Chains A and B, each alone.
Chain A
Amino acid sequence: MSEGLRIVDLRLDVEATGNDIVDQVTISIAKGKVLALVGESGSGKTTVGLAVLGHTRRGVSINCGQVYCGDTEILSLTESDQRKARGHLVSYVPQDPSSSLNPALRIGLQLREVLEAHNFGSSDEARKSRIREMMEEVLLPTDDDYLRRYPHQLSGGQQQRVGLAMAFACRPSVIVLDEPTTGLDVSTQAHVLATIRQMTSKHGVAALYITHDLAVVADIADEVAVLYAGRVVEQGVVKDIFTNPAHPYTRHLVAAAPDISGKKEVVGLSGRAPSPGKRPVGCAFASRCELATPECQDSFPKEVAMSASHHVRCIKVGQVAPVLLASKGASNVRDQGSPVLEIKGVDAGYSGVTVVHDVSLTIRKGECLALVGESGSGKTTVSRAIGGLHREWTGTMVFNNVELQRIARQRSPENRRGIQYVFQNPYGSLNPRRTVGDSISRPLAIIGTDKSEASKAVLDVLEKVNLPGSYANKYPDQLSGGERQRVAIARALVSKPDVLVCDEVTSALDVLVQAAIVDLLSDLRKNLGLAMLFVTHNLPLVRSIADEVAVMSEGRIVEFGPAESVIGDPQQAYTKSLIMATPSIERSMR
């Protein structure tokens, strides 16, 4: 097998401080193969991906290392040669297709620009036929009308396929894909992944696939490199990584990923990766590792070969326990609690257009109801209507035997207290100018709780979400994403609600953090008897957290029932297709 991409001992520094953000990265990918670069946010994945193109973010520079694309070493090329190589020899597919395509240019023109920039094809005719060919390869229509469309006239999946077509336009030998399916619905994601797989193997392209989604990795990659705090800690073929992880960190990652094929207790991990410049001399993971001993802090572990194709940097090799991928745990049969919130025949819409039709749900005490669906299915509209944030809805909602008013301002303080909302993005849901303590105690101040009592309640609730009391004086900027989400949950819990509406609360978080938050929510539900509406598009997660599931499509509930039976044995065609499209580690490993 010939090599497509070889990265040797790559190191990148922050110019201002001289701290390395990526260090000792050595990766090679054979032609036609996909290597997934996995790691949590801030681990340096994208930095490595951009370095393959000889590009760095502002303020970051490549300190040492080589990047070979075929026989060409990219980093030693001059600036203008690098520019020629990009797109031609090595190309890049960015994360968000809606912002990476120029909204003012027709897609046909954007595709032609790529070809023209690299002098691909001898005539306009040749280029035109190449564009048709590319569009065909990514399974898009090839007619002129379609090529005359603007990016906004395409769906997210179509946009990303145009992005792929652009990346493959000049037949590069290496392609870097930076989370190309993040933000896409599962069925769209399945199409895009299939396209990527087919394009790379057909044209013998070495692909570096950057992602944090392990199920996608299992689905698409041949090999995996796990990045932690800027260094590769484990590298090997997919099967080894998932069934026999040798590094404790990899093991935690796999254990934290929920899987659609079975009910799985996801396990989180506290702490966070050290930032550049604060990385210890020894193993960076030692401070969070349950196997760590003082030797771990001496030096960065040498590479240990588990097999010819499986390398790990850990001195505790062999002591890492195997992971249970999925277990068909006993389904949660419980006494049905009394209904807390009943929704009957709710229609909702925006400026006169109805997007949610006849939704009826019952949430019982101590129960977690998951509302799942793809984007645009109306699930968030329903949850916002329940939270009193959406004005345009009709139907009835009965909360503790009291009918709810349409918006929060019209509802009684008692009802507002009883239903609390946790937002998707913890970076947006906390006022950056307020301390954590202020944010959490605000709901109490509105009810009229006095100050000393409120501050006691704040400490109390911080403890419930596993944060130290000293966090009350911190500002959101000083917290990590997971900690912020804990604060947001604490704010929702402080007024002792009966129903917690969680709107995609884990989608902005890394998998380990997600697992920890899910853990927390399950505990809270058990201990406080909270009823929960868990809105998500993440089906595997539903299996780990929910008792009952309502599947929404185009504003209607198409299937409803206990989580185990809906996901394990779906009845409706739509649910079946959703579940089939969801990548699964377990299924890929079979």
Chain B
Amino acid sequence: MITSPEVEQIEKPSGLLRTALRLKRTQIGLGVLIAMIGLTIVGPIIAPHSQTEFIDMPNSLNIPGALFGTDYLGQDVWSRFLIGGRSILLLSMSATLLGTTVGTFLGLLAALTKNKTDEFIMRIFDVILSFPQILLALLLVSMFNASPILTILAVALSTTPRVGRIIRGAALSVVERDFVQAATALGESRIRILFSEVLPNVTGPLLVEASLRFTYSIATIASLAFLGFAPDPTAANWGTMIQENSAVIVIQPWGAVLPVIAIAVLTIGTGLCSDGLSRVLAGIDRGGKGE
């Protein structure tokens, strides 16, 4: 017999994230996202003026030292733009993180128990889902006040059931698989089965859903600010800026247009990322040859 060391070596298939990163749309999306995050980190440092400093006449253009002129109160548009992204990004990231974590846990729990607990969790989800996301957030924020914590909680609350349903659906098929049965037969604890057997096998849908929820959270939090529910009404905030400066958009367009562009670019970036991820998950564009 001719001995060959190994008839064949099979490569380990690369994970969802790595495969998705081979797609152009994910690369662009991630690039945009990183640039925007960079902007919100560096922005406040390089901003020439403070966010509440009055530097000139309101609504004026062509002011030396103020790239995009002044807003409706005479504050520097460029500085407020550079500073105003941070709170939106921070709030939406925290809200997504919180909502996804809680949603994932509840979804997994529902899938594994398949009894009254499952029923209870799902009905609660249904109740929350019956409110449009922005309405639910508005309701909470207007009942109390628009503190950062409450904003995060409100958006996370509307994110939780959406993530939870997806994770429950994905986990239901995993729970039926034999390796979960095998773990049960070995006497593994429920929590351990949940986190070490089931969770690693739903990371694909989880990633896709989390990135999608992030996109929605950005939009919701910006909308809340636009409607006047920013945590600090005097502070620079892209949503607030649009609202404040939209009335004078004809004479001083930058005050509203800049934040609009920023929010659009940010959501397109996260949208492209989640689209790339979900395409790989669904098996479209397999082989990673780009589009």
Binding partners A and B: yes
Q: A413-B187, A446-B187 are in contact. Are A429 and B182 (CB under 8 A)?
A: yes
Q: Name the residue of chain A whose CB is nearest to the CB of B201.
A: A433
Looking at A59, A289, A442, A474, the one whose CB has the most chain B CB atoms below 10 A away is A442
The segment from B6-14, B216-224, B244-252 that touches chain A is B6-14
Q: Name the residue of chain A whose CB is nearest to the CB of B200.
A: A433
Q: A292-B2, A408-B186 are in contact. Are A389 and B7 (CB under 8 A)?
A: no
Kindly state the interface size class of chain B when it binds its partner: 20 to 34
> Among B7, B184, B187, B197, which residue has its beta carbon within 8 angstroms of that of A274?
B7
Contact check, A275 vs B8: say whether CB atoms are below 8 A apart: yes
Q: How far is the CB of A4 from chain B (nearest CB, A)?
A: 37
Q: A292-B1, A431-B200 are in contact. Are A446 and B10 (CB under 8 A)?
A: no
Q: A286-B2, A290-B1, A423-B178 are in contact. Are A431 and B197 (CB under 8 A)?
A: yes
A393 on the interface (CB 8 Å rule)? no
B183 on the interface (CB 8 Å rule)? yes
Give a binary string over B1-36; 1 marks a CB under 8 Å from any A CB, 0 the rest: 111100110111100000000000000000000000
Q: List A378-416 residues whose CB lies under 8 Å from chain B.
A: 387-389, 408-409, 411, 413, 416
- A409–B2 Cα distance when bound, in Å, is 50
A300 on the interface (CB 8 Å rule)? no
Q: A411-B187, A442-B186, A446-B187 are in contact. Are A430 and B2 (CB under 8 A)?
A: no
- A491–B186 Cα distance when bound, in Å, is 10
Q: Name the residue of chain B whose CB is nearest to the CB of A429.
A: B178
Q: List A106-122 residues whose CB lies under 8 Å from chain B.
A: none
A375 on the interface (CB 8 Å rule)? no
A330 on the interface (CB 8 Å rule)? no
Give a binary string over B78-97; 1 marks a CB under 8 Å from any A CB, 0 the rest: 00000000000000000000
> Among B1, B182, B187, B200, which residue has its beta carbon within 8 angstroms of that of A289?
B1
B123 on the interface (CB 8 Å rule)? no
Kindly state the interface size class of chain A when it binds its partner: 35 or more
- A393–B115 Cα distance when bound, in Å, is 20
Contact check, B12 vs A272: say whether CB atoms are below 8 A apart: no
> Among B7, B11, B185, B187, which residue has its beta carbon within 8 angstroms of that of A271?
B7
B64 on the interface (CB 8 Å rule)? no
B179 on the interface (CB 8 Å rule)? yes
- A26–B181 Cα distance when bound, in Å, is 46
Q: How far is the CB of A469 from chain B (nearest CB, A)?
A: 14
- A486–B3 Cα distance when bound, in Å, is 22
Contact check, B185 vs A388: say whether CB atoms are below 8 A apart: yes
Chain B residues with CB below 8 A from A425, complex form: 178
> Among B179, B183, B187, which residue has its beta carbon within 8 angstroms of that of A428?
B179
Chain A binding site: helix, strand, loop or mixed by DSSP?
Answer: loop
Contact check, A389 vs B181: say whether CB atoms are below 8 A apart: yes
Q: List A213-265 residues whose CB lies under 8 Å from chain B.
A: none
Q: How far is the CB of A490 from chain B (nearest CB, A)?
A: 12
Q: How far is the CB of A266 from chain B (nearest CB, A)?
A: 20
Q: Name the residue of chain B whose CB is nearest to the CB of A291.
A: B1
Q: How far is the CB of B87 from chain A (nearest CB, A)?
A: 37
A287 on the interface (CB 8 Å rule)? yes
- A446–B201 Cα distance when bound, in Å, is 21
Chain A residues with CB below 8 A from B1, complex form: 287-290, 292
Q: How far is the CB of B123 from chain A (nearest CB, A)?
A: 22
Chain A residues with CB below 8 A from B3, complex form: 287
- A420–B186 Cα distance when bound, in Å, is 8
Q: A411-B187, A428-B177, A432-B201 are in contact. Are A423 and B182 (CB under 8 A)?
A: yes
Q: How far is the CB of B171 from chain A (nearest CB, A)?
A: 13
Chain A residues with CB below 8 A from B132, complex form: none
Chain B residues with CB below 8 A from A479, complex form: 10
Contact check, B10 vs A442: say whether CB atoms are below 8 A apart: no
Chain B residues with CB below 8 A from A432, complex form: 201
- A423–B10 Cα distance when bound, in Å, is 24
Chain B residues with CB below 8 A from A433, complex form: 200-201
Contact check, B179 vs A429: say whether CB atoms are below 8 A apart: yes
A334 on the interface (CB 8 Å rule)? no
Q: Name the residue of chain A whose CB is nearest to the CB of B184.
A: A408
Q: A297-B2, A431-B179 are in contact. Are A408 and B10 (CB under 8 A)?
A: no
Chain A residues with CB below 8 A from B8, complex form: 272, 274-275, 278
B53 on the interface (CB 8 Å rule)? no
B188 on the interface (CB 8 Å rule)? yes
- A555–B42 Cα distance when bound, in Å, is 72
Give a binary string over B165-186; 1 marks a CB under 8 Å from any A CB, 0 the rest: 0000000000001110111111
- A387–B182 Cα distance when bound, in Å, is 9
Contact check, A288 vs B7: say whether CB atoms are below 8 A apart: yes
Chain A residues with CB below 8 A from B182, complex form: 421, 423, 429, 488, 491
Looking at B186, B188, B287, the one whose CB has the most chain A CB atoms below 10 A away is B186
- A101–B185 Cα distance when bound, in Å, is 36
Q: How far is the CB of B183 from chain A (nearest CB, A)?
A: 7
Contact check, B187 vs A430: say whether CB atoms are below 8 A apart: no
Contact check, B186 vs A389: say whether CB atoms are below 8 A apart: no
Q: How far is the CB of A415 from chain B (nearest CB, A)?
A: 9
> Among B4, B10, B183, which residue has its beta carbon within 8 angstroms of that of A287?
B4
Chain A residues with CB below 8 A from B184, complex form: 388-389, 408-409
Contact check, B183 vs A442: say whether CB atoms are below 8 A apart: yes
Chain A residues with CB below 8 A from B200, complex form: 431, 433-434
Q: Name the residue of chain B whose CB is nearest to the CB of A16.
A: B287
Q: Name the residue of chain B whose CB is nearest to the CB of A296.
A: B2
- A477–B11 Cα distance when bound, in Å, is 9
Contact check, B185 vs A428: say whether CB atoms are below 8 A apart: no
- A286–B4 Cα distance when bound, in Å, is 10
Chain B residues with CB below 8 A from A290, complex form: 1
Chain B residues with CB below 8 A from A409, complex form: 184, 187
Chain A residues with CB below 8 A from B201, complex form: 431-433
> Among A296, A416, A474, which residue has its beta carbon within 8 angstroms of that of B185?
A416
Contact check, B7 vs A416: say whether CB atoms are below 8 A apart: no
A475 on the interface (CB 8 Å rule)? yes
- A273–B3 Cα distance when bound, in Å, is 14
Looking at B3, B8, B11, B13, the one whose CB has the most chain A CB atoms below 10 A away is B8
A selection of 22 A-B contacts at a CB cut-off of 8 Å is A16-B287, A59-B287, A273-B7, A274-B7, A287-B1, A287-B3, A288-B7, A289-B1, A296-B2, A297-B2, A389-B184, A423-B182, A429-B179, A433-B200, A443-B186, A474-B12, A477-B10, A477-B12, A478-B10, A478-B11, A488-B182, A491-B182
* The 4 residue pairs across chains A and B that have the minimum distance between CB atoms: A433-B200, A429-B178, A428-B178, A423-B178
Additional A-B contact list (9), CB under 8 Å, known A287-B1, A287-B7 = A274-B8, A287-B3, A289-B1, A292-B1, A296-B2, A408-B184, A423-B182, A424-B178, A431-B201
Interface residues of B (CB under 8 A from A): 1-4, 7-8, 10-13, 177-179, 181-188, 197, 200-201, 287, 289
